[in-house]
Amino acid sequence: MPKVLAVIFELAIYVGALWLLFLLSTLLHEVGHAVGYLLATGDTHWHIRVGWGKRLLDTRGLSVNLLPFDGLFTPLKKEGICSKSKLIMTLAGGPVASLILVVGLLLLKHGGVSFLSEVLASSAVESFVTVALSVNLSILLLSVAPMHYFLGEIKGMETDGLQMIRALRGDEKEKPQRR
């Protein structure tokens, strides 16, 4: 019986760590949009929603939901993004943040950060870094692919990549979507 409990405990820790990984990866992508928006407009009034389903946390600037597989950055002042360059800078912030995470995880995985080499010698940690790399690479690729999202509360919305293409081409839509 103790072995069964140990396996259940390890599985619970692994699932919890994966949930936290998805949450943080999505949150950092959305924070990237916020930083792009801040740099473009100087405005600090926005809301970030991470995930969908049951609401776990709700503050003025952040909402966290149970299923952390999507996110949404929303400026509170719609007139803040009044030019093509501001829109593109805001849209690019999320993919840039995801790219930074991917590069950092690649460096970590391939020994580019020497002080962590002993910690990474653990197969569990190495495996987790590999999963983190896969998650962040997926977020990056899905956000820049010119398509519509197919899952969660953002289903049907345009990806960052499609919105950037539309902005560069000068396509007029009723209101730019914010992701």
What's the confidence (pLDDT) of residue 120?
59
pTM over cut 0.95: no
Average pLDDT, the chain: 90
Integer CA distances (angstroms), 66 to 50, 52, 77, 164, in order? 9, 6, 27, 29
What's the confidence (pLDDT) of residue 79?
79
What's the confidence (pLDDT) of residue 113?
56
The count of residues in the chain is 179
* Confidence at 108, pLDDT banded by 50, 70, 90: confident
- 156 — phi, psi (to 5°)? 95, -15
Closest CA to 70 of 146, 174, 131, 160: 160
Integer CA distances (angstroms), 16 to 66, 68, 106, in order? 12, 12, 23
**Please, is 160 exposed, middle or buried when counting C-beta atoms within 10 Å of its C-beta (0-12, 13-18, 19+)?**
buried
Return d(Cα 96, Cα 143) in angstroms, integer. Answer: 10
Return d(Cα 127, Cα 168) in angstroms, integer. Answer: 39
Q: What is the mean pLDDT of residues 41-65?
A: 96
